[in-house]
Structure 1
Amino acid sequence: MGLLAVALLLCGSVDVVTLLVPELPGPSTVAPTPRLHLRFNPRTMTLSWNCEENSTSTRCLMVPDRNGPIEKTPRKNECSCTFQARPLHGGATFQVQIETSHRWFQERLLYENPGAEGTGAENFSCVIYEADFMNCTWEKGPAAPADIQYFLYIRDTKGRKERECPHYMRASGTHVGCHLDDLSAIPFWNYFLVNGSSRGPAIRFFDSVLSMKDMERHSPPANVTVHCNASDCLVGWRQPRTKQRLSPWDFQYQLDIQRQNVEPYIRNPLIDVAGDGRNQYCFPSPEPRAKHTVRVRAADARALQWSAWSQPVEFGARAPCEKKTT
């Protein structure tokens, strides 16, 4: 074989080898998804993340347990979202979705309630009464260990001020309630947290967000009076003191006016009176009139959670003395 033929054969072989070798990949054109490193502060209800690149659109999502998603949009160039305070004892999922000029990505964070199921406080409730006092109560969890101890913390929903219960109520040594006789630091909305400690398993926390409207129970109207003339009677009363600021028009009243010495099943219907600042009710009652009693109760007109009844006030002629039988 001549040299030229050998050279052509070799060249052909090189070309064949070159075609069979796969092309090596060049630099990647898909940048790796950045880690946002989501962080959640339950005290301030703030979700934050690392700002790694400019974004054209960002939104935050919070999905509480058994509730629909809550969406927030952060301000420009901010890498955090603050949600309105809400209970977290059922857990929550947080998500950040970011869009840039060339891509879209997201990251999730699961916030869980640590501890064994059934160890946290249950049946939690708070009541404000007589405008100056509040009681909160709860029950031990069914799986709580014998040495469980619970602690109550109250803070405003923005996480600025927090205090522990000053006076615990106990049952067999375990905290099952809290009494407060100073409500000066209680705002309209409050976040309540009951956590626990034990030498055994971790204890789940319980939390709740309650408004003053949810908690306040009105006292009965005070200073109930009855003034009668020959044809009418006028019932008057004083508006209950309240912790929340309520106008006279925020109240609804009910009057229970009953004649005495009649069959117990014969009762007059209750009388509804809208609050208007006058706090009185006039009704026809000509002389001679039998002995009657009147009592009054109050409610927030928006919630209609009735107070207890006031002490009954008597008016009208007294029943004649019964003859003694021998």
Structure 2
Amino acid sequence: ASIALKYSLLLVYYRFFCFLADSTVQVLPPVNFTLTVTALAEVLLQWKPNPDQDQKNYSVSYGVEIMTPVKELYDTKNTHSIRIAVLHNGFSARVRTLLLYNNSQIESNWVTVKLQAPSGAVETSVTNLSCVIYTTVNNTASLHCTWLAGKEAPEDTKYFLFYRYNSYTEECQEYSKDKWKRNIGCRFSNTYIRANEIGQSVVIHINGSSKHAAIKPFEQLFNQNAIEKVNPPRNVTVSLKENNLQINWEEPISFVRKICFEYQLSIYNLKISYEQIVKTESNSFNLRIDDTCRYSIKVQANRQSWCNEGFWSDWTKPLYIGKNQNVFVYLWRALIPLSLVYLICHFLIRKTCSAEVAVI
């Protein structure tokens, strides 16, 4: 018991002396902290170690906190950091020095810097921005974006769209317009976007000009995989043996793995006007059907959620299978209304003629 007591006292003394030692260590904040916009939606954070900071026997790093637009806290041993963020509402961050001494971390005060939001009148920036990427077999991609004019944007407002992908920035040259001839859509037939890259951000920046108001710019970040519209499945075939419907197809033209895809089938019974929608992850599907009916078959594709789900592809062209004996039924259904119209008109004409004869 006496040995345990002595050990406890020594531990208390050790921690007390460590505390006294720590209290004598001066931790100074970094200096020359700056924020620089280096590209669309890109900010370079830079600072320098405090020249008066004693670094002998200390491990020095820095704590960085992004406060707006989205909170983020991280540590780094570098004296610079690049962040991707929308800047139309401003940007602010702070940094502090971290010293590791006697297995404990000692922190300096924070140094804070802000980027002011760009000027512009309220509700003049674009709204409801949406974009879609379409890829081709040669790994090129087109980009289509649409938006609405700001609620308070004057009729003479001219919007201009730019996209940035990695180090490439390009301005739109092909716009669509609203009734006031304001740009509300953009199409890039060829872009620097590469379909085989995963998780890259596409930066969209839209600014504007007007003689009557300062137009506030707007930025939005898109995950390229989340806005890609998958190509339709290929080589769809259908066959019918007795009442067993067999559907087969090949995966879309894409650079993603085959196992990433899921499919949706539309099986439409023309006889009773009933559509059945089925989802599957395989490249084939079979179903027992009423072989006295005629069916329309379509397939569309998408990536599964675990594989960066995007937009569903367009439907494939419909394929038809089954007996076509209901053509006479469809023809009869079309003729019935025409027959009724004819009878009604014929009755009204005869009645009119009879009335005229009676008057004479």
Q: TM-score, normalization: structure 1?
A: 0.74
Query: What CA deviation, in whole Å up to 9, does each residue of 1:70-119 have, x standing for no partner?
Result: 123333xx421222x12222322211112579982322112232222212
Q: Find the counterpart in structure 2 of residue 58 from structure 1.
A: 62
Structure 1 residue 50: Cα displacement: 4.0
Task: Indicate conservation of the 8 Å contact 1:113/1:205, yes or no.
Answer: no
Q: Please tell me whether residue 294 in structure 1 is matched to residue 304 in structure 2.
A: no
Q: Find the counterpart in structure 1 of residue 142 from structure 2.
A: 133
Further displaced range: 213-222 or 173-182: 213-222
Determine the C-alpha separation between the residues in 1 that align with 2:193 and 2:64.
Answer: 32
Q: Find the counterpart in structure 1 of residue 320 from structure 2.
A: 314
Task: Indicate conservation of the 8 Å contact 1:114/1:202, yes or no.
Answer: no
Task: Indicate conservation of the 8 Å contact 2:246/2:285, yes or no.
Answer: yes
Structure 1 residue 35: Cα displacement: 5.2
Determine the C-alpha separation between the residues in 1 that align with 2:310 and 2:201.
Answer: 20
Q: Please tell me whether residue 280 in structure 1 is matched to residue 284 in structure 2.
A: yes
- Flag the 1:50–1:283 CA change in 2: closer, same or farther, 3 A: same
- Flag the 1:233–1:147 CA change in 2: closer, same or farther, 3 A: closer
Determine the C-alpha separation between the residues in 2 that align with 1:32 and 1:223.
Answer: 68
Query: What CA deviation, in whole Å up to 9, does each residue of 1:219-266 have, x standing for no partner?
Result: 433432212334533212232334xx322211111222233322x4xx
Task: Indicate conservation of the 8 Å contact 1:119/1:140, yes or no.
Answer: yes
Written as runs of structure 1 = structure 2, the 5 A alignment for 1:137-152 is 137-152=146-161
Percent identity reads: 22
Structure 1 residue 304: Cα displacement: 7.1
Determine the C-alpha separation between the residues in 2 that align with 1:103 and 1:269.
Answer: 63
Written as runs of structure 1 = structure 2, the 5 A alignment for 1:36-115 is 36-41=32-37, 43=39, 44-53=42-51, 54=53, 56-65=60-69, 67=70, 69-75=71-77, 78-83=78-83, 85-99=84-98, 104-115=108-119
SS at match of 2:202: strand
Written as runs of structure 1 = structure 2, the 5 A alignment for 1:193-212 is 193-212=205-224
Task: Indicate conservation of the 8 Å contact 2:271/2:326, yes or no.
Answer: no
- Flag the 1:322–1:64 CA change in 2: closer, same or farther, 3 A: same
Tell me, which stretches of 5 or more residues in structure 2 are unaligned? 1-25, 340-360
- Flag the 1:292–1:170 CA change in 2: closer, same or farther, 3 A: closer
Determine the C-alpha separation between the residues in 1 that align with 2:202 and 2:276.
Answer: 39
Determine the C-alpha separation between the residues in 2 that align with 1:201 and 1:320.
Answer: 64
Q: Find the counterpart in structure 2 of residue 246 from structure 1.
A: 256
Task: Indicate conservation of the 8 Å contact 1:38/1:108, yes or no.
Answer: no
Q: In the alignment, which of 243, 246, 260 is matched to residue 270 of structure 2?
A: 260
Determine the C-alpha separation between the residues in 1 that align with 2:96 and 2:27.
Answer: 17
- Flag the 1:282–1:169 CA change in 2: closer, same or farther, 3 A: same
Task: Indicate conservation of the 8 Å contact 2:208/2:216, yes or no.
Answer: yes
- Flag the 1:201–1:42 CA change in 2: closer, same or farther, 3 A: farther
Structure 1 residue identity aligned to 2:43: M
SS at match of 1:322: helix
Determine the C-alpha separation between the residues in 2 that align with 1:144 and 1:237.
Answer: 49
Task: Indicate conservation of the 8 Å contact 2:68/2:91, yes or no.
Answer: yes
Structure 1 residue 179: Cα displacement: 0.4
Task: Indicate conservation of the 8 Å contact 1:113/1:204, yes or no.
Answer: no
Task: Indicate conservation of the 8 Å contact 1:72/1:81, yes or no.
Answer: no
Task: Indicate conservation of the 8 Å contact 1:255/1:270, yes or no.
Answer: yes
Determine the C-alpha separation between the residues in 2 that align with 1:127 and 1:63.
Answer: 30
- Flag the 1:311–1:31 CA change in 2: closer, same or farther, 3 A: closer
Q: Find the counterpart in structure 2 of residue 4 from structure 1.
A: none
- Flag the 1:103–1:307 CA change in 2: closer, same or farther, 3 A: closer
Give the count of matched residue pairs.
281
Task: Indicate conservation of the 8 Å contact 1:38/1:50, yes or no.
Answer: no
Q: Find the counterpart in structure 2 of residue 155 from structure 1.
A: 164
Q: TM-score, normalization: structure 2?
A: 0.67
Tell me, which stretches of 5 or more residues in structure 1 are unaligned? 1-29
Query: What CA deviation, in whole Å up to 9, does each residue of 1:115-166 have, x standing for no partner?
Result: 2221212211111236443211122212224432222121125xx2211113
Q: In the alignment, which of 177, 181, 188 is matched to residue 189 of structure 2?
A: 181
